[in-house]
A and B are shown apart, each in its own frame.
Chain A
Amino acid sequence: MTELVIIGGGPAGMSAAVAAYDAGVRDILILERDDSLGGILQQCIHNGFGLHRFGEELTGPEYAWRYEQQVHERGIAYKTGTMVLEVSPDKVITATNPTDGIFQIQAKAIVLAMGCRERAKGALNIAGTRPAGIFSAGTAQKFVNMKGYMPGKNVVILGSGDIGLIMARRMTLEGASVKAVCELMPYSGGLARNIEQCLNDFNIPLKLSHTVVEIHGKTRVTGVTIAKVDENRKPIESTKEYIECDTLLLSVGLIPENELTEGAGICLDRVTSGALVDQDRQTQIDGVFACGNVLHVHDLVDFVSEEAEIAGQAAAQYIADGLDTDMDAVLHTDGKIRYTVPQRITKAKDTNVYFRVADVYKNAKITVLKDGEVLLTKKKMRLAPGEMESLKLTAAQLAGAKEIKFGLEVL
């Protein structure tokens, strides 16, 4: 029996481990599939991490190192090169690595922190051939930053997610020519600061409402046909344009990696594709918590760390004396707001509710209703799907609620 097993040694897993340790848990084991701790941050060598947490701009590996040091200082145990194969509903974890073989651990509490993966090309049904030279942006990032190899010289990027934007700059700095970034939606899914620093600063065109309609090339990509799309996102025939390139990078969305979660029988939120959780990030199974990108995709690692601390502290409390509940309220949204995390409140305590909007809204008002009564309102100049928002609800505000509803109104 291990008191707390944390699945994933990225920023979420490490932060949860540190928080749980500081809240008194000593018997902690982090299981990490890669050969070292740090998760995806290891390949994110650009800066901009940690502005909220540390008040400075760190690179991904530097940010990860801050937490890795804390893990080391506390003597928290971890196993790298270890892949978890299964989590059972009664908290038995099956994992494998070369030295231990396949082994099982009974945990008292589990924190799920497996992160997310990129949507692959297959999901898009792009017409044309399937030559070499089509990569997800994160795979290209791994080739360039971790292996030191260039996946191509002339690049078109489909999707304007943050990794795609970062890779537009990275490939340019490494000497490649980025011909265009095509975005299906009329707005970018990335952070405003990344559009500025990664595209505009390098004169890389961002083609909004555009998509790739065909891939050309037999053995290696030789070009792509792009087209503008109408309001129903259907390509407009007359706008087709051929771009010669040897590489197509895809940055078309991130999906939480919840195969283990589903295998444990935990219900997922259809919108976030992560577990349904309460304010402590506890899933429907007592003692199983989820945090970070496996729960919902974050734009900034700072908020991953913040969320993971909540989960780590709650896991510590669960292990020590169990978690008490004093209410059961469901959080709803109105469609303009796509989701909230948490989706339930089971204890009246100060809670930061994260949420994302469905479209770009300017000059909007967010209203939170408690059982039909206005609890608070907040005006926002600009809201975009690519930027996660949060609102703090206090214990007093939450107390006794049955239903909390988040709504948005454009003024």
Chain B
Amino acid sequence: MYDVAIIGAGVVGAMCARTLAKYDVRVCLIEKENDVATGATRANSAIVHAGFDAKEGSLKAKFNVRGSEMMEQVCRELGVKYKNNGSLVIGFNAEDRQTLEELLARGNANGVKGLYIAEKEELEKLEPNLSDTVECALVAPTGAIVCPYELTIAAVGNAMDNGADLERNFEVSAIEKTENGYRIFAGEKAIEARFVINAAGLYSDKIAKMIGDDSFDVHPRKGEYILMDKACGSMLKNTIFRTPSKMGKGILVSPTVDGNLLAGPTSVDMEDKENTATSAEGFDKIIKEACENVKEMPFRRTITSFCGLRAVGSTGDFIIKAENGFVTLGGIESPGLTSAPAIGVYATELLAEQGLELKEKADYNPIREAMHHFREASMEEKNEIIKKDKSYGKIVCRCEGVTEGEILAAIRQNPKALDLDGVKRRTRAQMGRCQGGFCSPYIVELLAREHGMAYEQVTKSGRDSYINVGKTKEV
């Protein structure tokens, strides 16, 4: 019997788990996939929003501003890269300028610090690669970037190091109210907990319906992205947004914390919650708008493209409530990543109101060693590490310079990488120019060895995403 079961190991569930891990509370994080951070958390714009977008007084505005203020410290504790690079919302004409004035007023009302509107001359110095047609921009110095899956993996790892459990491949099929709490089923399997947090993202409506709450729906809104080579990230400092219009927020261009350049997202309402297919029309839109924002977009240095699904709630705002020991965190779309640390704290407060006793653990450790700590060490420090563990002297992923030691750590540390994508998200191996062409056969070998699997049992991302179908001569 757990004290709290959290359904969904995206960034929201992870932040809840980590917050709860501070206390003497038995926590189980439940995830339907083979790894954490595989839903909306996997593929989004990776931005810590300043907080000028959301309507005054909304939950989105409240948690955005709080989350944005918490994010740097959370990242520091978890050893996650965070870069306060700033955001610009660019305007091309008088109409845009008017909208930017409105955003400025809204941001001020939301309590966002340091906002102002900059003119062309200043922008040319601030961001020389902006398109020549840009007239003005709302400058948001508190805007930042972070890697959403790195953050989530680290938060889950830290929660687990402090005693939380992670149950993967557990797709909740039914929830039953018991005398002391809830029984959560995945087919035959069941987990019992006194309290439940529903952080199931796109499926948070489905989970709510299992306890009879049909007050909201969540639908997927697709966002496609194009990612460019690491050689390109330095062409921009800030995240470049377009002025929002009736047509939506449009395509942004941003450096990533790992130094790549990212362009996207498209915005298309969908029905199928599993359809993460990219489209030719999407690519055309990204390329066209990004080229309007930024001069000489290096699309010829594209290394991959991908599609994420936003969990759009039917109320227009985050759906956050608690009743009968069941906390609902539904429809957490943008600015969900930014809000997640604040939502984690709030969900814990809600549980306390619901009767969960929160006694701080004596041995709680908020610190997690950075996954990238070897990469960023000096040559002397690296040689010290290699002396103790030779596997750090062997480069496996040549494009990103990832060593065998780092890959083994990702496979062994909480939460363990079980598949190729898991290794990729933890180490960046396979994420470079050749996209795993050279190193994936060897990483499959390491995964098979470490987890005691047959070579052909290793998957790309769980379920039946097999890399190989059998031995030669036997298929």
Residues of chain A within 8 A (CB-CB) of B438 are 117, 139
Taking A117-B434, A147-B441 as contacts, is the C-beta distance between A125 and B305 under 8 angstroms? yes
Taking A120-B303, A122-B303, A146-B441 as contacts, is the C-beta distance between A85 and B279 under 8 angstroms? no
A132 contacts B by Cβ under 8 Å? yes
Taking A125-B283, A125-B305 as contacts, is the C-beta distance between A99 and B435 under 8 angstroms? no
Asked whether, in the complex, the Cβ of B435 is within 8 Å of the Cβ of A121, the reply is yes
Stretch at the interface among B58-66, B135-143, B191-199, B381-389: B381-389
Stretch at the interface among A188-196, A212-220, A291-299: A212-220
B231 to chain A, nearest CB (A): 9
Residues 120 to 140 of chain A near chain B (Cβ within 8 Å): 120-123, 125, 127-132, 135-136, 138-139
Interface flags, B445-468, vs A, CB<8A=1, else 0: 100000000011001111111111
Residues of chain A within 8 A (CB-CB) of B202 are none
Asked whether, in the complex, the Cβ of A118 is within 8 Å of the Cβ of B434, the reply is yes
Asked whether, in the complex, the Cβ of B460 is within 8 Å of the Cβ of A122, the reply is no
Asked whether, in the complex, the Cβ of A33 is within 8 Å of the Cβ of B395, the reply is yes
Taking A96-B395, A118-B437, A213-B280 as contacts, is the C-beta distance between A149 and B470 under 8 angstroms? yes
B312 to chain A, nearest CB (A): 21
A194 vs B163: C-alpha distance when bound (angstroms): 59
Residues of chain B within 8 A (CB-CB) of A127 are 277-280, 282-283
Residues of chain A within 8 A (CB-CB) of B414 are none
Task: From the candidates A99, A125, A151, A153, name the one contacting B393 in the complex (CB within 8 A).
Answer: A99
A99 vs B383: C-alpha distance when bound (angstroms): 10
Closest to A145 in B: B472
B106 contacts A by Cβ under 8 Å? no
A218 vs B277: C-alpha distance when bound (angstroms): 9
Taking A122-B303, A123-B303, A129-B276 as contacts, is the C-beta distance between A102 and B393 under 8 angstroms? yes
Closest to B470 in A: A150
Asked whether, in the complex, the Cβ of B475 is within 8 Å of the Cβ of A98, the reply is no
A122 vs B282: C-alpha distance when bound (angstroms): 15
Taking A117-B433, A150-B468, A153-B475 as contacts, is the C-beta distance between A33 and B398 under 8 angstroms? yes
Asked whether, in the complex, the Cβ of A220 is within 8 Å of the Cβ of B464, the reply is yes
A81 contacts B by Cβ under 8 Å? yes
B67 contacts A by Cβ under 8 Å? no
Closest to B284 in A: A125
A210 to chain B, nearest CB (A): 16
Closest to A213 in B: B280
A121 vs B471: C-alpha distance when bound (angstroms): 25
A107 vs B460: C-alpha distance when bound (angstroms): 42
Closest to B282 in A: A127
Closest to A174 in B: B472
Closest to B278 in A: A127
Residues of chain B within 8 A (CB-CB) of A327 are none
Asked whether, in the complex, the Cβ of B434 is within 8 Å of the Cβ of A123, the reply is no
Chain B interface size, under 10 / 10 to 19 / 20 to 34 / 35 or more: 35 or more
Asked whether, in the complex, the Cβ of A144 is within 8 Å of the Cβ of B465, the reply is no
Taking A117-B438, A136-B437 as contacts, is the C-beta distance between A149 and B395 under 8 angstroms? no
Taking A101-B393, A123-B302 as contacts, is the C-beta distance between A175 and B464 under 8 angstroms? no
A201 vs B349: C-alpha distance when bound (angstroms): 71
Residues of chain B within 8 A (CB-CB) of A216 are 277
Residues of chain A within 8 A (CB-CB) of B304 are 120-122
Residues of chain B within 8 A (CB-CB) of A100 are 393
Residues of chain B within 8 A (CB-CB) of A143 are 441, 467-468
A176 contacts B by Cβ under 8 Å? yes
Residues of chain B within 8 A (CB-CB) of A122 are 227, 302-305, 435
- The B interface is mostly helix, strand or loop, or mixed, namely mixed
- The A interface is mostly helix, strand or loop, or mixed, namely mixed
A395 to chain B, nearest CB (A): 40
A72 to chain B, nearest CB (A): 24
Residues of chain B within 8 A (CB-CB) of A121 are 304, 435
A65 to chain B, nearest CB (A): 22
Asked whether, in the complex, the Cβ of B459 is within 8 Å of the Cβ of A132, the reply is yes
Closest to B274 in A: A218
Task: From the candidates B441, B445, B465, name the one contacting A220 in the complex (CB within 8 A).
Answer: B465
Taking A102-B393, A117-B437, A125-B302 as contacts, is the C-beta distance between A151 and B227 under 8 angstroms? no
Asked whether, in the complex, the Cβ of A131 is within 8 Å of the Cβ of B465, the reply is yes
B44 contacts A by Cβ under 8 Å? no
B388 to chain A, nearest CB (A): 11
Asked whether, in the complex, the Cβ of B383 is within 8 Å of the Cβ of A98, the reply is no
B440 contacts A by Cβ under 8 Å? yes
Residues 235 to 266 of chain A near chain B (Cβ within 8 Å): 246
A170 to chain B, nearest CB (A): 9
Asked whether, in the complex, the Cβ of B278 is within 8 Å of the Cβ of A120, the reply is no
A97 vs B396: C-alpha distance when bound (angstroms): 11
Task: From the candidates B283, B398, B456, name the one contacting A83 in the complex (CB within 8 A).
Answer: B398
Closest to B463 in A: A219
Asked whether, in the complex, the Cβ of B475 is within 8 Å of the Cβ of A176, the reply is yes
Asked whether, in the complex, the Cβ of A152 is within 8 Å of the Cβ of B390, the reply is no
A81 vs B401: C-alpha distance when bound (angstroms): 14
Asked whether, in the complex, the Cβ of A81 is within 8 Å of the Cβ of B394, the reply is yes
Asked whether, in the complex, the Cβ of B455 is within 8 Å of the Cβ of A147, the reply is yes
Interface flags, A71-90, vs B, CB<8A=1, else 0: 00000000001010100000
Residues of chain A within 8 A (CB-CB) of B461 are 132, 219
Task: From the candidates B277, B435, B444, name the one contacting A214 in the complex (CB within 8 A).
Answer: B277
Residues of chain B within 8 A (CB-CB) of A213 are 280
B interface with A by C-beta (< 8 Å) = 226-227, 274-280, 282-283, 302-306, 379, 382-383, 386-387, 390-395, 398, 401, 403, 433-438, 440-441, 444-445, 455-456, 459-475
Can you list 21 contacts pairing A with B, beta carbon distance less than 8 Å? A33-B398, A96-B394, A97-B394, A98-B392, A98-B393, A120-B435, A125-B226, A125-B305, A127-B279, A129-B276, A130-B276, A131-B460, A131-B465, A139-B438, A148-B472, A149-B455, A149-B471, A150-B470, A214-B277, A218-B274, A220-B465
Known: A118-B434, A122-B227, A246-B469. 8 other contacts (CB 8 A): A98-B394, A101-B386, A129-B276, A129-B278, A131-B460, A132-B460, A132-B465, A149-B468
